[in-house]
């Protein structure tokens, strides 16, 4: 490890290197070599920056600064300094805000003043924490000061971070590979790293656990990591089967059955602030008391946090859930639930519930669309970690917790035969639910894991497809006729390949969209447009779109059947969807939670 502090210029140079490389394995080895030269704290910061952030996903740390504001700032600066550059024109020509700012910096003659990684990180947090009246002007001042002290290359990656356009196509999964290489030179540490990230979804903190450690010491450090309320646990996932008859072959008999809701997955945390103090997180010093907990003024400093399956903090969006959690007598817990909107005694569809995800007018929204949290599991209770207990025991423990007004205990039944299972399934479908989840009595809660301990049986099984399919939008087509006015006529959908941490396009989806949706989608995708095909996206030649977009938005489709595609069998398992149509746009899932290539192959084989 070197003695001097790492500069932001060195970080920018490594960013440039990995951006020019297509091979995931080569990127992994290059990053691992670079990490070995860093201090633990520098490695933590780099881990966030690679993902385009300054903190984990569950920490509210958005820059809230648009590319439009940046272009306006630079045009005013160029005019005041009489610099010959048309910033908007160059942005349109180059197709990338980072390259545009790099050119701007070159025209201005800016040179690097040797800012350290820590100094750049402080500056980024300064932008995040600038809020309220006049915040745009104050952010402009910070950004301009930074650009004047950066080289053109540093400026390029600095603005890409604040505009949310870093887009290396690297996820936390690739970083876990990198961490394994840092310690042992291969991927053999991944199981330990996956478990650790599963119970502490903070990529920077995970790096601090293994930094400058030999294998045995790193493994021990990861194994000592425990669940902590306030830090989200990766949600347990469910597997699908090809038929109802297969269910008990997988789970054994008897098994537990719970309703499958079409809601927003929500992890509910309650704890006292003093219990959060024993770990050092590099980002924590930048947060105010309000950021750390919603109820900072409450007696005994009781904190409540609500997290989605994407690790987003939605505490302030669902105040009735938070208040009900606070009212529960137990001092600390982590509950797993689904949040559902309801009206006139009936639960609402997912898209209606999603209207509650807003930062403003929350009071009005809660009156128009009240929500309930349907609680189906408990992971932590009164200082005790429960995830290693069997599912049956956790459900029994959960049944003894007295829920608050906007929280309701999910009904759990034990079944031993197919007739009873089918009866419960049909009862839930008639209630408007998606189906049921069947769970093995034994088995611990495995964060982020998908296996046959938990199985979903959905009403779509009654049709040709075993299940709906979650695709990632990687491009769109202009369309013709009336749809040409919307700018989007159809979407290119891709599967996630967990082996390559990439995406593989399988079909064009143009049915099921309303005119209003298409207009909205065009605006949403404009900020994600890529100049060419992203390096982490594979696409058959006959499916290539008019416009490529960064793989981020997940949408759900149903189709008549899964079909074999002739040619290019190496993409998407050689499969496609016949007559795909939209079910839900912009699901509450990250792109690597979309349906995997291996899953679609399995679904094809089931039928």
- In this prediction, residue 402 carries a pLDDT of 94
CATH number of the domain that residue 517 is part of: 2.40.50.140
453 shares its domain with 518: no
The token duo for 357 is 């995800």
Lowest mean pLDDT, pick from 60-74, 106-120, 152-166, 294-308: 294-308
Using the predicted structure, report yes or no on whether residue 275 has a pLDDT greater than 80: no
On whether residue 190 sits in a domain, the answer given is no
**Residue 406 domain-assigned (yes or no):** yes
The answer to whether position 76 is within a domain reads yes
Q: What is the pLDDT of residue 367?
A: 75
E strand segments, 251-398 = 255-260, 264-272, 302-308, 333-343, 346-347, 371-381, 384-385
217 domain residue, yes or no: no
Boundary residue ending a domain (416, 438, 462): 462
Determine phi and psi for 94, rounding to 5 degrees: -85, -25
Note whether 260 and 341 are same-domain residues. Answer: yes
Structure token digits, residue 597: 């290539």
> What pLDDT, in 10s, does the model give residues 115-155?
999 999 999 999 999 999 999 999 999 999 999 999 999 99
User: Does 581 map to a domain?
Assistant: yes
> Are residues 248 and 120 both part of a single domain?
no
Whether 191 is covered by a domain: the verdict is: no
Active site residue 431: no
For 71, the domain range is 1-170
Q: How many residues does the chain have?
A: 607
The reply to whether 273 and 334 lie within a common domain is yes
Task: Give, rounded to a whole angstrom, the gap between the first and last alpha carbons of the chain.
Answer: 55
Question: 3-class SS at 110?
Answer: coil
Does 457 share its domain with 552? Answer: no
pLDDT value, residue 343 = 80
For strands 407-409 and 371-381, give the pairing. Answer: parallel
Does the residue 21 lie in any domain? yes
Q: Quickly state the pLDDT bin for 527 (edges 50, 70, 90).
A: confident
Mean pLDDT of the 209-218 span: 96
Answer with the residue of higher pLDDT: 519 or 568. 519
Q: Do 430 and 490 sit in the same domain of this protein? A: no
Domain assignment present for residue 176? The answer is: no
pLDDT of residue 123: 98
Does residue 89 contact residue 99 with C-beta atoms inside 8 Å? no
Are 410 and 522 contained in the same domain?
Answer: no
Helix (H, G, I), strand (E, B) or coil at 330: coil
Catalytic residue among 102, 139, 156, 260: 260
pTM of the model: 0.88
| Residue 95 and residue 163 share a domain | yes
Q: Which residue has the tokens 């601090």?
A: 208
**Mean pLDDT to the nearest integer, 518-524:** 90
Whether pLDDT at 9 is above 60: yes
Q: Name the DSSP class of 284.
A: G
Domain boundary among 409, 443, 462: 462
Residue 4 has pLDDT above 80, yes or no: no
pLDDT at 298: 44
Clarify whether residues 265 and 131 are in a common domain.
no
Higher pLDDT, 367 or 523: 523
Confidence of residue 290 (pLDDT cuts 50, 70, 90): low
Lowest mean pLDDT among 190-204, 361-375, 416-430: 361-375
* Residue 394: Cβ within 10 Å count: 21
534 conformational bin, left if phi > 0, alpha if psi -120 to 50, beta if neither: beta
Q: How many CA atoms lie within 13 A of 186 on its CB side?
A: 1
Quick one: pLDDT at residue 606?
A: 76
pLDDT tens readout for residues 105-114:
999 999 999 9
- Are 389 and 474 contained in the same domain? no
488/366 Cα distance (integer angstroms): 33
Mean pLDDT over the full length of the chain:
91
- pLDDT > 70: percent of the chain: 94
Residues 581 and 524 in one domain: yes
pLDDT beyond 80 at 607: no
Return the ∠ at Cα 571 (arms to 476 and 447), rounded to 5°: 90
Boundary-marking domain end, from 404, 431, 462:
462
Where does the pLDDT of residue 349 fall: very low under 50, low under 70, confident under 90, or very high at 90 and above? confident
Per-residue pLDDT at 466: 60
Give the CA diameter of the chain. 80
What's the confidence (pLDDT) of residue 292? 54
In the predicted model, what is the mean pLDDT of residues 575-595? 90
Indicate the number of domains in the chain. 3
Q: What is the CATH number of the domain that holds 45?
A: 1.10.3260.10
- What pLDDT band is residue 480 in, cutting at 50, 70 and 90? confident
Six token digits for residue 157: 């990656």
Q: Which residues contact 46 (CB under 8 A, 6 or more apart)?
A: 11, 35, 38, 117
Identify the CATH number of the domain in which residue 267 sits.
3.30.470.30
pLDDT confidence of residue 291: 60
pLDDT band, residue 465 (cuts 50/70/90) = low
Is residue 83 very low, low, confident or very high in pLDDT (cuts 50, 70, 90)? very high
Same domain, 95 and 142: yes
The answer to which of 298-302, 400-404, 595-599 has the lowest mean pLDDT is 298-302
Q: What pLDDT sits at residue 342?
A: 85
């Amino acid at each position: 490890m070197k003695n001097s502090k790492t500069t932001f210029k060195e970080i920018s140079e490594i960013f440039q290197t990995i951006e020019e490389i297509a091979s995931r394995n080569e990127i992994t080895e290059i990053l691992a070599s670079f990490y070995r030269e860093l201090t633990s704290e520098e490695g933590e910061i780099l881990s966030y920056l690679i993902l385009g952030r300054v903190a984990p996903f569950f920490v509210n740390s958005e820059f809230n600064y648009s590319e439009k504001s940046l272009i306006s700032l630079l045009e005013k600066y160029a005019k005041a300094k009489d610099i010959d550059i048309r910033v908007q024109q160059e942005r349109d020509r180059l197709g990338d805000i980072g390259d545009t700012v790099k050119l701007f910096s070159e025209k201005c003659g800016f040179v690097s003043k040797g800012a350290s990684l820590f100094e750049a990180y402080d500056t980024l947090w300064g932008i995040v924490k600038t809020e309220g009246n006049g915040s745009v002007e104050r952010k402009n001042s910070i950004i301009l000061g930074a650009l004047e002290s950066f080289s053109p290359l540093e400026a390029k990656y600095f603005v890409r971070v604040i505009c949310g356009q870093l887009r290396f196509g690297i996820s936390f999964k690739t970083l876990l590979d990198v961490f394994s290489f840092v310690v042992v030179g291969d991927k053999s540490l991944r199981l330990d790293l996956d478990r650790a990230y599963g119970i502490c979804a903070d990529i920077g903190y995970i790096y601090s656990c293994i930094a400058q450690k030999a294998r045995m010491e790193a493994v021990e450090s990861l194994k000592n990591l425990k669940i902590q309320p306030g830090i989200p646990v990766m949600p347990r996932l469910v597997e699908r089967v090809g038929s109802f008859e297969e269910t008990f072959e997988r789970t054994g008999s008897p098994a537990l059955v719970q309703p499958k809701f079409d809601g927003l997955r929500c992890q509910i945390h309650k704890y006292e602030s003093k219990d959060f103090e024993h770990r050092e997180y590099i980002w924590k010093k930048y947060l105010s008391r309000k950021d750390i907990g919603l109820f900072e003024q409450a007696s005994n400093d009781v904190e409540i946090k609500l997290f989605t399956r994407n690790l987003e903090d939605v505490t302030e969006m669902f105040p009735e859930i938070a208040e009900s959690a606070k009212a529960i007598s137990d001092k600390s817990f982590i509950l797993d639930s689904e949040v559902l909107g309801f009206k006139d005694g009936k639960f609402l569809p997912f898209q209606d519930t999603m209207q509650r995800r807003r930062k403003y007018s929350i009071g009005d929204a809660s009156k128009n669309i009240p929500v309930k949290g349907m609680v189906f599991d408990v992971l932590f209770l009164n200082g005790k970690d429960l995830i290693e207990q069997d599912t049956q025991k956790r459900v029994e423990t959960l049944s003894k917790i007295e829920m608050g007004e906007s929280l309701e205990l999910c009904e759990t039944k034990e079944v031993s035969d197919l007739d009873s299972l089918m009866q419960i399934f049909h009862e839930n479908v008639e209630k408007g639910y998606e189906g049921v989840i069947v769970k093995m009595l034994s088995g611990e809660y495995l964060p982020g894991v998908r296996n046959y301990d938990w199985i979903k049986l959905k009403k779509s099984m009654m049709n040709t497809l075993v299940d709906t399919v979650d695709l990632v939008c990687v491009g769109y087509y202009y369309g013709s006729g009336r749809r040409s006015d919307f700018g989007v006529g159809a979407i290119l959908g891709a599967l996630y390949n967990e082996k390559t941490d990439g995406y593989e396009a399988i079909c064009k989806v143009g049915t099921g969209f309303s005119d209003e949706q298409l207009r909205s989608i065009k605006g949403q995708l404009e900020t994600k447009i890529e100049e060419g095909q992203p390096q982490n996206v594979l696409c058959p030649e006959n499916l290539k779109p008019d416009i490529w977009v960064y793989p981020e938005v997940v949408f759900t489709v149903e189709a008549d059947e899964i079909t074999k595609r002739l040619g290019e069998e190496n993409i998407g398992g050689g499969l496609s969807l016949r007559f795909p149509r939209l079910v839900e746009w912009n699901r509450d899932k990250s792109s690597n939670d979309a349906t995997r290539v291996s899953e679609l192959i399995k679904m094809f084989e089931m039928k």
